Homo-oligomer: A and B are copies of this chain.
Amino acid sequence: MQRETRQRKAIRRALTEAGHPLSPKEIHEAAGALVEGLGIATVYRNVNALLEEGWLVAVELPGEAPRYERAGKEHHHHFHCRKCDRVYEVEGCPGNITAVTPAGFQLERHEFVLYGLCLSCAA
């Protein structure tokens, strides 16, 4: 990654200003409003480049298309509201993870996703 093109700037800006994880399509729409004729291939190429650079992290929810958010956040998990489809960050980590790891298995990382209704949808 060496050149800061108009396209890359627009993609960075779209992700920074969104405040929540964006899908490639959403990035294309948001950044496309800033740069005329932005190609979807450019979005994918930049997303992958930004992932490699460590500027982005993928938020992969089961059964959902991957979304992307800015890197640098603390270890957290996600709560997925089934009604409004929004994703919330959840602090902390439940209990002893190594305890449930089968003997001989090498645990490297884990994902943890909560499903249900968020505060406003539960009301």
Contacts and interface: CB of A to CB of B under 8 A. Distances in A.
A8 interface: no
Interface stretch (A11-19, A25-33, A37-45, A104-112): A104-112
Nearest to A114: B110
A67 to B, nearest CB: 11
A66 interface: yes
A94 B58 CA distance: 24
Given A61-B62, A111-B62, A122 B106 contact: yes
A95 B90 CA distance: 15
Interface string A46-66: 000000000000101111001
Given A60-B63, A116-B107, A122-B106, A96 B97 contact: no
Contact of A102 (B60, B63, B119): B119
Contacts of A92: 99-100
Nearest to A62: B60
A113 interface: yes
A35 interface: no
A86 to B, nearest CB: 11
